[in-house]
Structure formats: structure tokens, C-alpha cells
Amino acid sequence: MSELRDLYQEVIFEHARHPRNFHALGNPSHVARGHNHLCGDQLTVYLHVAGDVIEDVSFEGAGCAISTASASLMTEALKGKRLDQAGKLFDSFHHMLTHGGAATESNSAAETDTDQDAALGKLEVMAGVHEFPARVKCATLAWHTLQAALKNRVEPVSTE
């Protein structure tokens, strides 16, 4: 288990050092800024949504390794997803961080399409954040900002 944890940490730090999709989008359909006052993390999430599909998603900003890695992993996970799938993924991710396990693990209907949508995949590397409650907001900042962007909110969001 500790080897798995080391691997997860390595993935997190690799994403923090070399975040994916770390740039502004030229012609976004949705934008929002997020700020985690507890840690000082700030980021902007850009989306290009066509119909109900996230065609492109990116972010910019400055934050700790956890917030940067989480945003990077989020953009990788969401590109090409439908909005309803993105919502389920966020629910699943949030559940993992606040309850310490993927929501689908205890679900007997894990083979349905619905639960496939909620499968965390690579996002599971963030599971260890559950043990550090003060860092949960770092890990969820990008997701809260994404939700704000999808509502077309233009004012900065706070995780407080």
C-alpha cells in the first residue's frame, strides 16, 4: 500500500511540476476564477463547451502542488466529457476526498453506464488528500471553479 501511495505522490508532483492544459483558452464559452483563502491558491478555469460536451478545458494560476496537480488532472479527465458526466465525476471525486473512498466502490450497480461516468480513474491518485482535511479545499478548488464557470458566473468564487 505504501508503494501505491508513493506512486500516487509521484503522479501528483509530476502534474504539479508539469501541469497539463496550463494556459488560457482563446475563445472560451465559460470562465471563472477561484481562490482558496486557506492556502492562497488562485486559479482560472477556461472551458469551451459545445452542446453538452466539454470540447476543451484549461487553467492558469498559482497555487500549491495539490491544487495545481488536481486542476491538471481535472482538465485531463474532463476533456471530451458530457456535462452530466462531469457532474458525476465531481460528485465521485468530492466523495473520495471527504469520505476516503470512491463513491462507486460500495455501489452494487457499478457496471451501469451511470457509474462508469463516475469512475475516477487517474483522479484516484488524489485519494490520500482525505487524510489531510486542510488540503481538501486545495484539491477541490479547480472543481468548484469549474462548477462556477459552468454557471457562467463571472465573479471570483471562494471555497470558504
Q: Residue 2 phi/psi, 5° resolution?
A: -70, -30
The residue among 107 and 158 lying less far from Zn ion, judged by its C-beta, is 158
Residue 116: count other Cβ atoms within 10 Å of its Cβ. 12
Q: Does 138 help bind Zn ion (rule: CB under 5 A)?
A: yes
Q: Is 41 in the site for Zn ion (CB under 5 A)?
A: yes
User: How deeply is 149 buried, as exposed, middle or buried, from its count of CB atoms within 10 A (0-12, 13-18, 19+)?
Assistant: buried
β-sheet with 157-158: strand ranges across: 53-62, 41-50, 30-36, 157-158
- Stretch binding Zn ion (CB under 5 A), from 13-21, 68-76, 122-130, 136-144: 136-144
**Cβ 159 to Zn ion, closest distance in Å?**
10
The verdict on 31 binding Zn ion (CB under 5 A) reads no
CB 129, min distance to Zn ion, A = 10
User: Parallel, antiparallel, or unpaired: how do β-strands 157-158 and 30-36 relate?
Assistant: parallel
Cβ 43 vs Cβ 33: under 8 Å: yes
- Give the number of residues in contact with Zn ion, rule: CB under 5 A: 5
Binding mask 57-76 for Zn ion (x = CB under 5 A): -------x--x---------
Alpha helices in 18-82 (DSSP H): 65-78
Cell reading at 152? 457562467
25 vs 69, which CB is nearer to Zn ion? Answer: 69
Please pick, from the candidates 39, 103, 110, 119, the single residue that binds Zn ion as defined by CB under 5 A.
Answer: 39
Q: Please, which residue, 41 or 56, has the CB nearer to Zn ion?
A: 41
Q: Which residues contribute to the site for Zn ion (CB under 5 A)?
A: 39, 41, 64, 67, 138
